Structure 1
Amino acid sequence: MSLDHVETLECTLCGATYDPERVIYTCPNHDGVTGILDVTYDYDVIQDRFDAPLDGHVDSQWKYDAFLPVDTDATPVTLDEGGTDLLDAPRLGAELGVDLAVKNDGANPTGCFKDRATSVAVTKARFGGQDVVTCASTGNAAASLAGYAARAGLDARIFVPAAAPEGKLVQPRVYGADVLAVDGSYDEAYDLSLEVTDTYGWYNRNAAINPFQIEGKRTVGHELAEQTQGAVPDWIVFSMGDGCTIAGCWKGFREFAELGYVDDTPRMLGVQSAGASAIHDAFHGHDDVDDVADTLADAIAVGRPRNTLKACRALEESGGTALAVPDEDILSAVTTLGGTEGIYAEPAGAAPVAGIRRAREEGIIEAGESVVAVVTGMGLKDTAGANEAVGDVTGIAPSLDAVEATYGAPEPGATDGAAAAYTDLDG
């Protein structure tokens, strides 16, 4: 077996290094979970192994297996995650005044971006002989881990805040996971999951601390680099919760640029809710960072993000920035994205649209610039949030009169075209 393409796990604070084959989550030289680790690679070995054509066709993220921190003898635990479409969005782009494309990662197997990370984590857990996997989640990571654990034949035990959307908690239970609703916030559920990991030795998938999680997420950067080669976008826009998603994309895109697969890199724009804006506040040097999350966009409702440093580095290195937008703008973005491009996103997944609109208003993104908005979760994940955006359905009586009362009488000759079509079909 071989993990020779992975050099070390390196602390982002002090630079201490650790054996990548060791199960370790954070650097013990620091209190709490502040000593986040980064995976470093031997790119000479990776390039010797990576022989997939960069032709814009991606079936799954495992096209980039040479870049993933997985033993070459390990069999991937996969549901064909990744390989999501990059869709032109001309109607929404015209409304926002940009050349827009949407990376629809809500089309991943369990309906969210997190499948990219989970596939790597569960592959490593199974190959390492683990029997139980765990995480804390507001819903999406719970469903993702449960689905991949079922695929791998592992037990999943998941901690969620009691206020997590019910729809998101049904999915992991269908996959057979134990879902434990903690009487507290996401951050309290997160802290409990860490205590459990220390006590029971279960493998922890939490992307904020598991250094291999962000490595799966960085495949979206590889994909976007491949899908846009020759016309690298000016901006890539993500919502931010713990911070590891935008950091992962930047790492992947930057790698492909440094290896010469693409000629340039985009600027990264990170979008948070004004009610959960810790990364935004840290990036802009605010002293009064609020660690209480209050937002309807539950997937990014993180009061104490653990990957603030990596996220801020991605924003700074790329020449990008962070914005915070109110929840009403996020709700409006849900219906705008759906009504213009037919993409149904949960609130956190639509937040990039709200961020692009704000960035245009503030002159951060200029008219006509090329922008990719990454949708990280499908709308069926949070129907309550979407329902708040669209309101109740319209009730009518079962009669044509009721339809006419709503829309008015049909124009004269409105059915002539249809009648002619039927005549043509009759020959």
Structure 2
Amino acid sequence: MKHVTGLECIVCGETYDADQIVYTCPNHEGVRGILEVQYDYDAVLDAFDAELDGSIPSQWKYRAFLPVHDDAEAVTLHEGGTELYDAPNLSSELGVETVVKDDGRCPTGVLKDRASSIAVTKARRAGRDVVTCASTGNAAASLAGYAARAGMDARIFVPAAAPESKLAQPLVYGADVLAVNGTYDEAYDLSLEATEAFGWYNRNAAINPFQVEGKRTVGHELAEQTRTDPPDWVVFSMGDGCTIYGGWKGFREFSELGFVDDAPRMLGVQAEGASAIHDAFHEHDGVDDVADTLADSIAVGAPRNTLKACKALSESDGTSVVVSDDEILDAESTLGRTEGIYAEPAGAAPVAGVRKALDEEIVAPDETVCVVVTGNGLKDTESARAAADDVHYVDPVLDDVVEKFGPPETS
């Protein structure tokens, strides 16, 4: 990896060899010693020969930017390359020009596939047979799918309260799923203990420095897709904080390299019941580290990547908002009925965040907004039923249809 110069602690600046399997800087207790991948961009540009023409078959178009060895065989299901949709109906409803980047179209239905592809590629090259992670459900399914693709074993830790559909998916992929009788944070801690005890490769994006690098390809894609007219704002939901930082880092890189005219501001969205990053960014006191939200994908009480998330917000001159569960469900319904895009609650939360930001005069009506859908609605059908209208049961007679919709018009 001649284009990767090392790993740098974002707190103390200590550097480490990128060929080591090292997760955090040991100079710090807790989660503050998060590592950042550093690049030689001259070497990156020497290797990058793709045309930025809007044709993106997968995230591996940007392989020259990814922290993988030249001889590593990519483990891929053609993740990334997702559509950026014009959203005229949603724009009209929100009162601001909006486009939607739908990463629910990734192979396992979630943006996290960008990171899982990198994790399993690196684990296989390092000679590891088992990959692991803790997850509220999406990373579990994603990692399990890519492990299956690579012929590796996956050992997954999830809170027992994770949606059934999210537990079923990694089981179909052949993973060992351990449903922990506790919170996500307790599942996370157990996954770290198991990693150390068994020597597995840990995909947890909160600590594995290479996972943000895969997620940053969503920023590369957005930069390429909006090259001559980038949005004023890009909106992500925030759980552990890795995704919004990855998106910002990718877009910022392409801006600094002159590939795109400008970089947008980041708007981070959290649920009221899991608002630790928002609270840290706005320097609120008395933060509750117990997550309580139906948006399980962002139900993180103690985010491990708060520093990177706040860095994305501050460097981009952005900010964050919090929204209620009711606002998230309403956003899920709004996105579906206006544009035909089916998002899980965390994936729809950015729409609720745009509404809140407009109300609070953070986003101006004459600006442009890109919302990033991070997960498909099939991930959590129970919440979708709560967001939508009830089913109407009728007898197999036309009179019942007429009673519902009125008599048909006569020609």
Which one of the candidate residues 58, 61, 77 is aligned to 1:60?
A: 58
Q: CA deviation at 1:338?
A: 0.2
1:182 partnered with 2:187 = no
Q: CA RMSD in A?
A: 0.6
Residues 136-155 of structure 1 aligned to structure 2 (within 5 Å): 136-155=134-153
Q: CA deviation at 1:288?
A: 1.2
Q: Partners in 2 of 1:312 and 1:18 — Cα distance?
A: 23
Structure 1 equivalent of residue 246 of structure 2: 248
Structure 2 equivalent of residue 103 of structure 1: 101
Q: What is the TM-score normalised by the length of structure 2?
A: 0.99
Residues matched between the structures, number: 411
Which one of the candidate residues 352, 372, 387 is aligned to 2:350?
A: 352
1:339 partnered with 2:337 = yes
Residues 77-96 of structure 1 aligned to structure 2 (within 5 Å): 77-96=75-94
Q: Partners in 2 of 1:254 and 1:60 — Cα distance?
A: 20
* Counterpart residue identity of residue 395, structure 2: A
Which one of the candidate residues 360, 365, 368 is aligned to 1:367?
A: 365
Q: CA deviation at 1:34?
A: 2.1
Q: Partners in 1 of 2:209 and 2:153 — Cα distance?
A: 21
1:310 partnered with 2:296 = no
Q: Partners in 1 of 2:284 and 2:395 — Cα distance?
A: 56
Residues 1-80 of structure 1 aligned to structure 2 (within 5 Å): 3-80=1-78
1:112 partnered with 2:129 = no
Moved over 4 A (4+): none
Larger radius of gyration: 1
* Counterpart residue identity of residue 310, structure 1: K
Which one of the candidate residues 288, 297, 300 is aligned to 1:290?
A: 288
Q: Partners in 2 of 1:391 and 1:247 — Cα distance?
A: 35
Q: Partners in 1 of 2:389 and 2:231 — Cα distance?
A: 35
Q: CA deviation at 1:391?
A: 4.4
Q: Partners in 2 of 1:37 and 1:288 — Cα distance?
A: 27
Q: Partners in 1 of 2:260 and 2:90 — Cα distance?
A: 27
Q: Partners in 2 of 1:391 and 1:94 — Cα distance?
A: 22
Residues 132-185 of structure 1: per-residue CA shift (max 9 Å, x gap): 000001110000000000000100000000000001110100000000000000
CA contact (8 A) 2:115 2:211 kept: yes
Q: Which moved more, 1:49-58 or 1:27-36?
A: 27-36
Q: Give the secondary-structure state (helix, strand or coil) at the position aligned to 1:71.
A: coil
1:390 partnered with 2:388 = yes
* Counterpart residue identity of residue 171, structure 1: Q
* Counterpart residue identity of residue 39, structure 1: V
Q: Give the secondary-structure state (helix, strand or coil) at the position aligned to 1:212.
A: helix
Q: CA deviation at 1:83?
A: 0.2
Q: Partners in 1 of 2:80 and 2:126 — Cα distance?
A: 23
* Counterpart residue identity of residue 33, structure 2: G
Q: Partners in 1 of 2:56 and 2:178 — Cα distance?
A: 36
Q: CA deviation at 1:392?
A: 2.9
Residues 98-132 of structure 1: per-residue CA shift (max 9 Å, x gap): 11100000000000000000000100000110000
Q: Give the secondary-structure state (helix, strand or coil) at the position aligned to 2:209.
A: coil
Q: CA deviation at 1:337?
A: 0.2
Identity %: 71
1:401 partnered with 2:399 = yes
Residues 176-325 of structure 1 aligned to structure 2 (within 5 Å): 176-325=174-323
Q: Partners in 1 of 2:241 and 2:281 — Cα distance?
A: 12
Q: Partners in 2 of 1:98 and 1:61 — Cα distance?
A: 29
CA contact (8 A) 2:32 2:307 kept: no
Q: Partners in 2 of 1:408 and 1:326 — Cα distance?
A: 36
Q: Give the secondary-structure state (helix, strand or coil) at the position aligned to 1:377.
A: coil
* Counterpart residue identity of residue 277, structure 2: I
Q: CA deviation at 1:308?
A: 0.3
Q: Partners in 2 of 1:249 and 1:107 — Cα distance?
A: 17
Q: Partners in 1 of 2:263 and 2:346 — Cα distance?
A: 24
Q: CA deviation at 1:352?
A: 0.2
Residues 330-352 of structure 1: per-residue CA shift (max 9 Å, x gap): 00000000000000000000000
Q: Give the secondary-structure state (helix, strand or coil) at the position aligned to 1:39.
A: strand
Structure 2 equivalent of residue 422 of structure 1: none
Q: Partners in 2 of 1:368 and 1:357 — Cα distance?
A: 14
Q: Partners in 1 of 2:406 and 2:258 — Cα distance?
A: 60
Q: CA deviation at 1:32?
A: 2.4
Q: Partners in 2 of 1:239 and 1:49 — Cα distance?
A: 33
* Counterpart residue identity of residue 407, structure 1: F
* Counterpart residue identity of residue 322, structure 2: A
* Counterpart residue identity of residue 210, structure 2: F
Q: Partners in 2 of 1:395 and 1:374 — Cα distance?
A: 35
Q: Give the secondary-structure state (helix, strand or coil) at the position aligned to 1:256.
A: helix
Q: Partners in 2 of 1:256 and 1:189 — Cα distance?
A: 36
CA contact (8 A) 2:76 2:117 kept: yes
* Counterpart residue identity of residue 376, structure 1: T
Which 5+ residue runs of structure 2 have no aligned equivalent? Answer: none
Residues 206-248 of structure 1: per-residue CA shift (max 9 Å, x gap): 0000000000000000000000001011000000000000000
